[in-house]
Amino acid sequence: MIHILLAVLAASDYSGTWETTYGDMVLEQTGTTVTGWYSYGSMSSVDGTVSEESGKLVFTYTETDASGRGWFLLSENGNSFTGQWKADGDTNWSDWEGNRIAGEPSTWVVILEAEWQESMRENEYSFGEMLDAWLGRLPGVQIRHRYVHDLEDIQNFCAEAAVLPGDVYLIFASHGTSAGISLNSGTVSPRELADAIFPMTNLQLVHFSSCEVMAGSTDETILSSRSNWKDGFAVSGYTTSVDWGGSAVIEFYYFNQILENGLTPVQAARALQTDIRFSGTSSTRYMDGAGFQIQTP
């Protein structure tokens, strides 16, 4: 009997990325426990348990303005599921189906950028477009550059990025302070950033192309938000109000070492601080120290 139950569980692995009736979904299964997120209604969550006898996943779901319960059952080949859901207080069940998202793993650079200019008097400019143009020349690197205006934009794009197959290098390009990053809607706090990023189990790096963010608690809050980050995961950015031109030089070098030369973020940071002296705390004749910093779990 024990062997039969183990066989059922082995055949009922819901872990992976799914294209479903209600948006892309990421599920993680440990034993019989399943947690996950899907992109419907900004960031929505799933928590459930797999039956040791039938392999059925019974779960509760939570959305921005709704919650309920449901179930999924995998197909024989494990590449699709059928199921149903019902909102709390409702008596009607509705279908919920999904298919595993296929695709070869790749390297992804996701740039989430706030608009820098504050009035019509300023010319339009973009740090993210500059990075896109520079990194887009590299074979095997997929660039996704999106503009964000509020926390919901960040949540939605992080949810979409969570299902990308392969390693994701996430860059926030915006004004910033030690209290977080600055958007048109206000400051996004370290806790809000960590919660938005949390579903991205494919993350290899979070980098802030933003002044002063690393002088606050953002890196620590992100690193401590989960215990199973990918090996080599890191958070990097600046502790000072960094010069625009200086940060461009730093990031061209930093990401080139990672994405073209194959260094880990920590190795690339060490090379950066060795080769470009003003990237750290030391100032040069023409450039103040940028305060570049990297932290790992």
The domain limits of the chain are 2-100, 106-295
The pLDDT score that the predictor gives to residue 104 is: 67
Which residue, 24, 25, 62, 32, is CA-closest to 48?
32
Q: Are strands 98-100 and 80-87 parallel, antiparallel or unpaired?
A: antiparallel
Sequential pLDDT tens for the chain (297 residues): 444 444 444 457 999 889 999 988 889 899 999 998 888 866 788 999 999 889 999 999 999 889 999 999 999 999 999 999 999 999 999 999 999 987 667 899 999 999 988 888 989 889 999 999 999 999 999 999 999 999 999 998 998 898 888 899 999 999 999 999 999 889 999 999 999 999 898 999 999 999 999 999 999 999 999 988 999 999 999 999 999 999 999 999 999 999 999 999 999 999 999 999 999 999 999 999 999 999 999
- For the 2-100 domain, the top CATH level (class) is mainly beta
pTM, entire model: 0.81
- In the chain, what is the greatest distance between 2 CA atoms, to the nearest angstrom? 75
Distance CA 287, CA 112 (A): 27
- Distance, CA of 141 to CA of 120 (rounded, Å): 34
Name 208's bridge partners. 172
Alpha-carbon span 103 to 112, nearest angstrom: 23
pLDDT at residue 202 in the model:
92
Task: Report which secondary-structure segment, H or E, holds 204.
Answer: strand 203-209
Residue 58 β-bridge partners: 49, 71
CB of 260 closer than 8 Å to CB of 268: no
Residues 6+ apart with CB under 8 A from 244: 127
DSSP state of 46: E
| Chain centre distance of CA 129 | 19
* C-alpha Rg value of the chain to the nearest Å: 21
For 106-295, which CATH class?
alpha beta
